[in-house]
Amino acid sequence: MKAAILKILRETGDYVSGQEICEKLGVSRTAVWKVIRQLQEEGYQVDAARSRGYRIIDGPDVMTAEEVESLLDTEWAGKPVGYYPETDSTNIRIRHLGDEGAPHGTLAVADRQTAGRGRRGRTWESPGGSCIYMSILLRPDLAPEKAPMLTLVMACGVAEGIMDCADVKVQIKWPNDIIVSGKKLAGILTEMSTQVDYINHVTVGVGINVNVQNFPEEIQTATSLLSETGTQTKRAPVIAAVMKHFEENYKIFMQTEDMSGLMEKYSSLLVNQGREVLILEKDAEYKAYAEGINQKGELVVRREDGTVENICAGEVSVRGVYGYV
C-alpha cells in the first residue's frame, strides 16, 4: 500500500484528500494516515493540510521496493522488485530467485554488495549509499547463443535512462561499459542458466556510480554522476528510467531475436565509433577502426589494409589506442 500511496501523491502533484486515497485503494482513513506517518518518519516530506489533504514535497535518496515501485512505468520490467540493504551480489540473488521460479521481470536492488563481480570475473567495487546495484531476471524464448546480445540491449537502456535523469552525454564502450567523459560510469554483467539448447533464465546485472565522490587511485578510469554534474542524483528515478527504456528495447530485440532493430541506436551511442581501437586477442594485438555493430552484436572493425572483421565479445578485449576508450 505504501508504494500505491506514493504513486498517487506523485501523480497528483498537488494536495490529494485522504478520502480520495481511501476510495482509490479501498482502505480506511486510519490506514492511510499510518502510511503517511511512516513516510514522514522515513524522510519523505509530506505536507498534511486540514481540509486539503496530503502533498508530497520531496523524498530521500532511497531504493526501497516501495520507492522503486511507485516510480515504475513498465508492464513487466522491474515487477516485482526486491530491495536488499546489503547482499553478496544482486546477480546471485536473481539467479537463486530464477531457480525458485520467480517471474520474468523480477528485479533485485541493493544498496551495497559484498561480492560484486564484473566481466571476466573482475571484482567490482560496491560501496553503500552512493551507487545502484540491480539485476533483472529474464525468461526469453531464445536460443542460448543469442543471450549475450541482451547485454547490448541493456546497455542502450542504461544509457537512455541515465540521460533522462542527468544532464550528461552517455556513451557505450562495446560491449558492456557505460561511459561519460571518457571514463566508466557503469558496467553490465549478463549470466544465464541453460540446458543444452534451452535457456532456463538470464540474469542481467547493472552497476552505476551515482553519488560516488572519490575513487581509489587504481581505478582512475571511473567516474560518477556526481563527479560529472556536481550535484546529487536520486537513484530510484534512474532505476525506473532504465527499466522503462530496457523494456522498450527488449521488445524490439525479441521481434527479430537480434540487434537489427537496435543497431542504429547502439552504434550512435558507441564511443569507439569511427575511432582507432586496439584489439587484444589471447596471443596477439592489432589496431583497427571501429565501424559499429552488426546484427549479432559483434563489433565491426576495419584493419589498416581494408579487411573487415567481426569481433565477438567473449573472445577479445577492445581498448582505445591511447587509453581506456
Provide mean pLDDT across the span 127-147. Answer: 94
Fold of 65-268: BirA Bifunctional Protein; domain 2 (3.30.930)
CB 154 within 8 A of CB 188: yes
Write out the E strands in the chain: 45-49, 53-58, 81-84, 107-110, 131-138, 171-173, 177-180, 183-194, 199-209, 276-280, 285-293, 299-303, 308-311, 317-320
Cα angle at 85 between 192 and 232, to 5 degrees? Answer: 100
User: What is the pLDDT at residue 13?
Assistant: 85
User: What is the pLDDT at residue 122?
Assistant: 55
Nearest Cα residue to 237 out of 1, 63, 39: 63
Q: Is the pLDDT of residue 3 over 90?
A: yes
Angle, helix 29-41 to helix 18-25, in steps of 10 degrees: 110
DSSP 80: S
CA distances to 38, 147, 315 from 292, rounded to whole Å, are 50, 19, 17
Provide mean pLDDT across the span 214-232. Answer: 87
Fold of 2-58: Arc Repressor Mutant, subunit A (1.10.10)
| SS3 of residue 83 by DSSP | strand
CATH code matching the domain that covers 272-320, chosen among 3.30.70.3340, 1.20.1250.20, 2.30.30.100, 2.60.200.20: 2.30.30.100
User: What is the pLDDT at residue 127?
Assistant: 66
What average pLDDT does the structure give for the chain?
92
Cα–Cα dist 3/219, whole Å: 37
End-to-end CA distance of the chain: 46
Place of cell 543471450: 147
Q: Is the pLDDT of residue 82 over 90?
A: yes
Provide mean pLDDT across the span 116-141. Answer: 77
User: What is the pLDDT at residue 92?
Assistant: 96
Place of cell 577502426: 289
The band of 235, judged by pLDDT with boundaries at 50, 70 and 90, is very high
The band of 216, judged by pLDDT with boundaries at 50, 70 and 90, is confident
Place of cell 540473488: 93
Return the percentage of the chain with pLDDT > 90, whole number. 81
Provide mean pLDDT across the span 130-157. Answer: 97
Provide mean pLDDT across the span 112-130. Answer: 68
Provide mean pLDDT across the span 278-298. Answer: 90
Domains in the chain: boundaries: 2-58, 65-268, 272-320
Nearest Cα residue to 225 out of 168, 160, 154: 168
pLDDT in tens, 157-211: 999 999 999 999 999 999 999 999 999 999 999 999 998 889 999 999 999 999 9
Return the percentage of the chain with pLDDT > 70, whole number. 94
User: What is the pLDDT at residue 117?
Assistant: 59
